[in-house]
Amino acid sequence: MKNYERSLYRQLEETLEENDKLKEENKELRVENAGLKTEVRNLRNRIGEIEETLEERIKKAVNAAVMVAVEPLCAEIERRDIEISRLKAIINKDSSNSGNPPSSNGFKKIPNNRGSKRKETWRAVRTQWDDIEYSEKS
């Protein structure tokens, strides 16, 4: 029985010793785990900051590229607007608003300020209808 008790006592000591070792290892792992959690939190924050600055850099780069591409187009539009204005001024000139004689107008008609031909033709048609109606009544 004494051997049995000694073996049980030895098993108990070994179990307690193993338990102490596991407790110590558990403490170390908890400390390591807390440190890793802090490191992960810091890394996530850093990733967020990097993403924000990256987005800002991308926006700035895109805006700069757009400005470089748009600038010559704006200059071309301005040049063409000036050319269009110059050509319109040439087209709109005739003897009534320039120092040129009426014979320089070419085939271009000058608008008549007395009234439109449409009104005149309508009056003529109306007069014809009135004549027809009057002659039918008689």
Task: Give the mean model confidence (pLDDT) for residues 15-19.
Answer: 96
- Band (pLDDT 50/70/90 cuts) for residue 5 is confident
pLDDT of residue 3: 84
Residue 53, in any domain of the structure: yes
Q: Computed from CA positions of residues 82, 88, 90, 95, in that sequence, does the dihedral angle turn out positive or negative? A: negative
Q: Which amino acid is at 103?
A: S
Residue 117, in any domain of the structure: no
- Band (pLDDT 50/70/90 cuts) for residue 24 is very high
Residue 120, in any domain of the structure: no
Number of domain units in the chain: 1
Alpha-carbon distance of 120 to 126, in angstroms, equals: 10
Residue 7, in any domain of the structure: yes
Residue 69, in any domain of the structure: yes
The residue segments making up the domain with residue 6 are 1-94
What mean pLDDT value characterizes the chain?
Answer: 83
DSSP per-residue string spanning 69-132: HHHHHHHHHHHHHHHHHHHHHHHH--TTTSSS-GGGGTTPPPPPTT--HHHHHHHHHHHHHHHH
pLDDT of residue 92: 78
Q: Can you tell me whether residue 30 is helix, strand or coil?
A: helix
Percent of the chain scoring above 70 in pLDDT: 71
pLDDT of 54 strictly over 90: yes
**Predicted structure pTM score:** 0.41
Residue 126, in any domain of the structure: no
Cβ atoms of 100 and 94 closer than 8 Å = yes
Q: Can you tell me whether residue 31 is helix, strand or coil?
A: helix
Mind listing the pLDDT tens digit for each residue in 61-92?
999 999 999 999 999 999 999 999 999 888 87
Cβ atoms of 138 and 131 closer than 8 Å = no
Alpha-carbon distance of 91 to 78, in angstroms, equals: 20
Residue 138, in any domain of the structure: no
pLDDT of residue 101: 74
Residue 134, in any domain of the structure: no
